[in-house]
Amino acid sequence: MASRTSRTVIVGAGAAGLATAEALRAGGFEDELVLLGDELHDPYDRPPLSKQLLSGSWTDDRAVLRTREQLRSAGVAYRPGVRATGLNTAEQALTLDDSASVEYDALVIATGMTPRRLPFGHDLRGVHLLRTMDDLVGLRSELRPDSRVAVVGGGFLGCEIAATCRLLGASVALVEPMELPLRNVIGDDLGALVADLHREHGVAWYLGRSVAGFLSVDGRVSGLRLTDGRELDADVVVVAIGAVPCVEWLDGSGVLLAESGGVRCDEHGRAQDGVWAVGDVAAWYSPRHARWIRVEHRFTANQHAQVVAADILARRPFITTAAAAAEPMVPYFWSDQYDFKLQVHGVPSGAFEVVEGSLDERRFVGLYVDDGRVSAVAGAGMAKALRRWRQAVVDLTPVTDLPGWRSAV
Amino acid sequence: MKLSADQDKCIGAGRCVLVAPELFDQRDDDGVVEILQEQPPPAQLEIARNAVALCPAAALFAEDA
Ligand SMILES: Cc1cc2nc3c(=O)[nH]c(=O)nc-3n(C[C@H](O)[C@H](O)[C@H](O)COP(=O)(O)OP(=O)(O)OC[C@H]3O[C@@H](n4cnc5c(N)ncnc54)[C@H](O)[C@@H]3O)c2cc1C
Ligand code: SF4
């Protein structure tokens, strides 16, 4: 008899894990579906944490993606507060921190990432990370209009936290080791735009420096010492220096990791037979880029989920799925800082050139051109135009074929 | 099926329009979603579900009637 998937277990109940469960059910999956995650909350969305939830413009329940009642009625066995501690792929079994073990026929790894920490200082009160709802509640409870906030790390997360803290009235210092924030992701032009944007809103940048140590009084942070010797006063510090994939529980399982530290998968999200990985933790092979790429953005969680659900379903007889794989794997992300809403399609590389609007007005569409082809498009305030330009990324269009292309990049 | 959108959550990604141009559009000024057909015809149901599932802001909802 043909083998039949009888129990699928999804580890990690964030956006990617949840979306995989729902895509399986939407595709007609009828067997047992277990979604387990180590957080106690109903599955929620992370992007609002640094934006609407930190500012208080939304109540926290608006970030909830599905309630446990909704999951129950969708036939998903949601197990909050359960952590996977080990994996035995030969026996197709997981060990869990509540000491029980669970067997699976199909396993989906969706454990996301955990924030990187500084080698010091995290034991002090007033020093925060921001990845989870619990982190958010802790940070927000300390923010006041007269707070002096220092944000360590000028990536997207650090920039968004800085913007939200300014909107709340706090004074904000941003410490970033590069000379321009985000230059490694979106290049010099947009990095400079973001730096100016924050300056105009009264953020004090400390670029080209990092943190050498914390100052404290009675176990509570009172400031930072930078690598150039300068000392900054601060009563709230947020460390936003990136994150690493949650893969330690896979040690010894035989599941292979990519260079980026994520679970190495083919372009359908397969890590090995019967094991898939989705979302921030997953490094999928990208035929477009001819390498494994790990994308830490919200849209990818949904995209991966669709493809993996279709792949799991296709293993079973008599069930067909349509929709899924038609969508080309072009990553997408956005970032909201003050009124500036940046959107990017693709993985930026190469020179940046504005093709509509202007950077001065902060209303623009620009292309990243690498080796004569469009690797990504970025835009703000011109959503529909940006959507049209995205096609050039999908098609990897040679720039010389683009209408309106003026530059000799 | 009945489609609805939470325009306050929408971040103007336009993903829905890419997947289902007959069901969704974006406002010209800010790119926020507008639903063109609240009740998708049978031939568009699968596409509608896919658009809802892909929305990166979890701003779209499909209620099965
Ligand atoms: C504050 C913030 C703002 C963001 N803003 C944006 C934005 O504006 N735009 C954008 O595109 N992206 C943004 N992102 C990124 C986006 O949220 C992520 O890409 C997305 O959450 C990835 O989903 P995921 O399910 O892969 O991982 P996660 O959401 O991290 O979910 C993984 C889950 O697995 C759990 N887990 C980990 N290990 C185990 C284990 N061993 N056993 C059980 N459970 C485990 C974790 O606790 C977590 O609940 C933001 C992220 C953060 C943190
Ligand atoms: S996909 Fe979602 S966020 Fe994007 S325009 Fe449509 S509703 Fe808005």
Task: Name the pTM for this structure.
Answer: 0.95
**For residue A238, which of A169, A309, A352, A162 has the smallest C-alpha distance?**
A162
Task: Report pLDDT for A212.
Answer: 97
Q: Report the pLDDT value the prediction gives residue B30, as an integer from 0 to 100.
A: 87
Q: Is A112 near ligand 1, meaning CB less than 6 Å away?
A: yes
ipTM score over 0.90, yes or no: yes
Contacts of B9 (CB under 8 A, 6+ apart): A62, B57, B58, B59
Task: Identify the residue whose tokens are 């009945």.
Answer: B2
Rounded to the nearest angstrom, the distance between the alpha carbon of A130 and the centre of ligand 1 is 11
The residue with tokens 């930078």 is: A226
Task: Tell me the shortest Cα–Cα distance from B23 to chain A, in angstroms.
Answer: 15
Q: Measured between alpha carbons, how far is A90 from A252 in angstroms, rounded to an integer?
A: 11
Fold type of domain B2-63: Alpha-Beta Plaits (3.30.70)
State mean pLDDT over A336-350.
96
* Helix spans in A215-286 (H): none
pLDDT in tens, A125-137: 999 999 999 999 9
Helices B45-54 and A298-314 pack at an angle, to 10 degrees, of: 130
pLDDT in tens, A83-95: 999 999 999 999 9
Q: What percent of chain B has pLDDT over 70?
A: 98
Distance from C-alpha of A142 to C-alpha of A27, rounded to nearest angstrom: 44
Contacts of A53 in chain B (CB under 8 A): none
**Residue A150 CA: distances (Å) to CA of A143, A156, A175:** 12, 15, 7
In ligand 1, which atom is closest to the CA atom of A16? 25
Nearest bound ligand to CA A334?
A: 1
Q: What's chain B's average pLDDT?
A: 93
For residue A400, the model assigns a pLDDT of 85
- B49 CB near ligand 2 (under 6 Å): no
Alpha carbon distance A170, A166 (integer Å)? 5
Q: Among residues of chain A, what percentage have pLDDT more than 90?
A: 89
The DSSP bridge partners found for residue A275 are: A107, A272
Residue A321 pLDDT class (50, 70, 90 cuts): very low
At A304 the three-state DSSP class reads: helix
Contact between A175 and A223 under an 8 Å Cβ cutoff? The reply is no
Q: For chain B, what are the domain ranges?
A: 2-63
> Taking residues A346-366, what's their average pLDDT?
96
Section A27-38 average pLDDT: 95
- Interface touch A47/B30, C-beta < 8 Å: no
Q: Which of B49, B55, B64 to mutate to test the interface with A (most CBs of A within 10 A)?
A: B49
CB of A134 closer than 8 Å to CB of A227: no
The closest CB to that of B13, out of A23, A327, A334, belongs to: A334
Could you read off the pLDDT of A38-61 as tens digits, one per residue?
Answer: 999 999 999 999 999 999 999 999
Instruction: For residues A103 and B57, give the distance between their C-alpha atoms in angstroms, rounded to a whole number.
Output: 33
pLDDT score recorded for residue A326? 54
Determine the Cα–Cα distance for residues B65 and A193; give it in Å rounded to an integer: 47
Could you tell me which residue, A328 or A258, shows the higher pLDDT? A258
- CB-based contact A19 B53, cutoff 8 Å: yes
Residue matched to tokens 């969704």: B24
pLDDT of residue A396: 87
- pLDDT for res A405: 67
The residue among A126, A130, A167, A163 whose CA lies nearest residue A145 is A167
- Cα distances from B47 to residues A33, A322, B40, B43, in angstroms, run 24, 9, 9, 8
What's the mean pLDDT in A209-222?
98
Segment A239-256, tens digit of pLDDT: 999 999 999 999 999 999
Nearest Cα neighbor of A300 from A281, A273, A326, A276 is: A281
**Each residue's pLDDT tens digit, B28-56:** 878 999 999 999 999 999 899 999 999 99
What is the mean predicted confidence (pLDDT) over A142-154? Answer: 97
Q: List the single residue in A23, A334, A390 with the smallest CB-CB distance to B53.
A: A23
Mean pLDDT of chain A: 93
